[in-house]
Amino acid sequence: MTRQRPYPSDLSDARWELIGPTLTTWRTERRSKALDIGRPPEHDLRRIMDAILYVDRTGIAWRYLPHDFPPWETVYGYFAAWQKVGVFDQLNGLLRHLLREAEGRDGEPTACVLDAQSVKTSANVPAAGQGIDAGKKIAGRERHIGVDTLGLLLAVWVTAASVSDNVGGMHLMSHIAATHPRVTKAWADTGYRTKAID
């Protein structure tokens, strides 16, 4: 039965079928490790994910979630728990694998592309979290990103803009090597021409 989608960010039935089993398994495993006390979960996992996607798409604060979602404290609690144990990484990996196969590729990548982008930050960001990219003359942060050859995310690391591409590249390569051992080739621009290439 098709459910009404009150917000554009809500999951379609097809998308829920892809990620629902992962979230349901997480909840079942968590409940099996807990003491057999307390009441069972009362909120639907799909509605919780819809609320998380709503916050992500709109940029609102958790406390401003519309009242037709579960309480914001519940939604944030699930978000924090899923982030801590790597559920979002697991979902990203699952969707990347499915998309690669749909494109006629092997589910696991064997090559990646590295790059970095400096972005200006707002005046509200603490100075300790910022830096100056001397080459681009930007005060802010830097996004170091590793993707597969389809452009699907493998790793990301956000730093102060003063962190060099080499340091970011080595961090990304270490993470990619640990999580995607089949990757044997990487493409990068000249910002990675010394230590990262070695």
Percentage of the chain exceeding pLDDT 90: 60
Q: For the residues 128-156, what does the mean pLDDT come to?
A: 84
pLDDT at 25 over 70: yes
pLDDT of residue 8 exceeding 90: yes
Residues 113 and 67 in one domain: no
Mean pLDDT of 12-26: 94
Domain span at residue 44 reads: 13-85
Task: State residue 140's pLDDT score.
Answer: 83
Q: 111 vs 164, which has greater pLDDT?
A: 111
Mean pLDDT of the chain: 87
Is 197 a member of any domain?
A: no
What kind and span of H or E run contains 115?
strand 111-120
State pTM to two decimals: 0.76
Which pLDDT does position 1 carry in this prediction? 45
Strand (E) or helix (H) holding 144: strand 138-147
pLDDT over threshold 80, residue 79: yes
162 in any annotated domain: yes
Report the pLDDT value the prediction gives residue 12, as an integer from 0 to 100: 92
Asked which of 30-34, 88-92, 187-191 is least confident by mean pLDDT, the reply is: 30-34
CA distance linking residue 183 with residue 144, whole number of Å: 18
Number of domains in the chain: 2
Q: How far apart are CA 160 and CA 132, in angstroms?
A: 8
How distant, in Å, are the alpha carbons of 87, 154, 165, 170, 191 from that of 188? 29, 14, 10, 12, 8
- What's the gap between Cα 62 and its chain centre? 18
Same domain, 115 and 188: yes
Higher pLDDT, 3 or 155: 155
Residue 91 lies in a domain: no
Is the model more confident about 40 or about 137? 137
Tokens of 48: 């919780």
Residue 112 has pLDDT above 90, yes or no: yes
Q: Give mean pLDDT, residues 17-34.
A: 88
133 and 180 belong to one structural domain: yes
List 60's β-bridge partners, or say none. none
Residue at which a domain ends, from 24, 54, 85: 85
Is residue 80 domain-shared with residue 115, that is, in the same domain?
Answer: no
* Residue 141 pLDDT: 84
User: Would you say 140 and 120 are in contact if contact means Cβ atoms under 8 Å apart?
Assistant: yes
User: Averaged over 26-46, what is the pLDDT?
Assistant: 78
